Structure 1
């Protein structure tokens, strides 16, 4: 990988070298929800980082001698090291999942171009792989829409080596990280490109997977805010895109969330309206009935009794041409 790394821009080459060094060191870190992350970091003794996972996982500020000089030099070369006197901070996080490492944004992910990775990433990958396991024909062309770190694209590409997997995101930082993470995983059949949904790429797809923003976010953070009164504008746009871009026999796997009000699921209702008359066969199921409960204390979810997670799968029949 050395000669190919040398051809990259210096910051990208440094991040790949950092990832390779972390693999050799046996680095592992499971990224939690922002609420859990904040709680753990508030505990006594967690103000400063003293290890690789403290610095690159928990995003704790650290003294220069907390990690090796190699790690510091690579973070510096990547433009991912912020210095404030003798207190430094990594501007990236590195998470482990599916025996791979993924670079994404440091905590808190408040920047407009923040790239999020967390429990919903795991859930989306699991939903995509479960769908793949149930298919009789491997998908030839796959799109990971709103790919973020590229975790879904990498996981699918590892299992279906002959597929062409496209990781698309409107966020250029996400495209960069997805490209680097695919290279770090050695998945040569992943291409990362900037696109608003599938608007900037051509052709149809045998599999479309998406975990779009779905929260009602008063701060309108791009990685989190789904848009509209229920946070469903982006998920519904994904469904609309799939209606037009699925090949015969192709499927959409959409992982999303929804605020349940009076026992009513507004995402399910909206999806049913959008898919009516399309000829797509679809299923919808709650996969977790109660998540992100801290949001119920704010005005955005004052109407909701719970926030649930759901997976929608829609498939075009092979006869539908």
Structure 2
């Protein structure tokens, strides 16, 4: 693992062949600052609801910055100011769309944070997703930190994506070292941008598969891994295993060996329920029943991404539920 000096003096751990933060990254931070100063706010919703909104009459092209950066709608050059267009050009996020333009980056708000992530639709292999799962994941983290922020000296967000989990921890625990891990270079880039925009110098993006090549133990490990069955096996979406829980189980196994005494794992994920059974919970019971740890498992939402059940890979699945695991070493 190699280090380089990142945005705002932030050290980042780079993937092989990575050249580190660029001028475009800094321009993207400046764009985020501009949007924040303009009072920009947007809540990221499910892809299906997003599609419904964009298909409504009059929503074919953007009318304001929220349409451009929240709804990923194409826009006419004259709709934005020369300064705004120059910022987008410098950030290298513009794509020609016939005679129109589109941004390859979206911006969504999470509390006081503004987070850059991939534009809709998130079709690319290295897309960085942000949506309702992110907000539920944030609630799990915030609930824990309300009581335990003072105990966190070193934390890690496995599969950080936009960095939302790491940012929340860094914000609530300013004296803690917070490592944000991913194998997706674009995720690490946007996490660095989002950390710099939030002024969080204690959040360190790092290239790692699970906790590989990252040393030491952690007081807090958080993860919001992909849990869908994706035939294209896109990294941000595909959970692996028979029903999408493969990566979630690997994270549990990795965390068990890296939690400091008294440390906590917070895992937010989704479970494909079959014949009234929770196969992820059954796997956890087999793994954890004989170990000296305390854990709590709860269902946060009984029915998410219901449209996925129409796909052949989900032919035996009744529903997909959002769940949270809290495990104390």
Q: TM-score, normalised by structure 2?
A: 0.92
The count of aligned residue pairs is: 313
Give the counterpart of 1:282 among 295, 311, 326.
295
Do the aligned residues in 2 keep the contact of 1:50 with 1:67 (CA within 8 Å)? no
User: 1:15 matched to which residue of 2?
Assistant: 28
Using the TM superposition, name which of 126-135 and 88-97 deviates more: 126-135
Alpha-carbon spacing, 1:136–1:165, altered in 2? closer, same or farther (3 Å): closer
Structure 1 CA distance for aligned equivalents of residues 22 and 150 of structure 2:
39
> Residues 14-40 of structure 1: CA distance to partner in whole angstroms, max 9, x if unpaired?
101100100110000111111111111
User: 1:179 matched to which residue of 2?
Assistant: 192
Structure 1 CA distance for aligned equivalents of residues 37 and 148 of structure 2:
35
User: 1:167 matched to which residue of 2?
Assistant: 180
User: 1:59 matched to which residue of 2?
Assistant: 72
Give the counterpart of 1:202 among 215, 219, 224.
215
Give the counterpart of 1:44 among 37, 57, 61.
57
Give the counterpart of 1:35 among 32, 42, 48.
48
Alpha-carbon spacing, 1:115–1:8, altered in 2? closer, same or farther (3 Å): closer
Q: Give how far 1:136 is off.
A: 7.8
Do the aligned residues in 2 keep the contact of 1:290 with 1:306 (CA within 8 Å)? yes
Structure 1 CA distance for aligned equivalents of residues 66 and 271 of structure 2:
32
Structure 2 CA distance for aligned equivalents of residues 179 and 274 of structure 1:
35
User: 1:298 matched to which residue of 2?
Assistant: 311
Give the counterpart of 2:243 among 207, 230, 255.
230
Q: Secondary structure at the match of 2:189?
A: helix
User: 1:26 matched to which residue of 2?
Assistant: 39
User: 1:142 matched to which residue of 2?
Assistant: 155
Q: Give the aligned CA root-mean-square deviation in angstroms.
A: 1.6
Do the aligned residues in 2 keep the contact of 1:98 with 1:155 (CA within 8 Å)? no
Q: Secondary structure at the match of 2:193?
A: helix
Using the TM superposition, name which of 7-16 and 241-250 deviates more: 7-16
Do the aligned residues in 2 keep the contact of 1:209 with 1:254 (CA within 8 Å)? yes
User: 1:262 matched to which residue of 2?
Assistant: 275
Q: Secondary structure at the match of 2:77?
A: coil
Query: Within 5 A, what are the aligned runs for 1:245-256?
Result: 245-256=258-269
User: 2:4 matched to which residue of 1?
Assistant: none
> Residues 255-293 of structure 1: CA distance to partner in whole angstroms, max 9, x if unpaired?
010111111001111111122322121110000011111
Structure 2 CA distance for aligned equivalents of residues 63 and 260 of structure 1:
45
Q: Give how far 1:223 is off.
A: 0.4
Higher RCO structure, 1 or 2 (CA under 8 Å, sep 6+): 2
Q: Secondary structure at the match of 1:134?
A: helix
Structure 1 CA distance for aligned equivalents of residues 45 and 150 of structure 2:
34
User: 2:136 matched to which residue of 1?
Assistant: 123
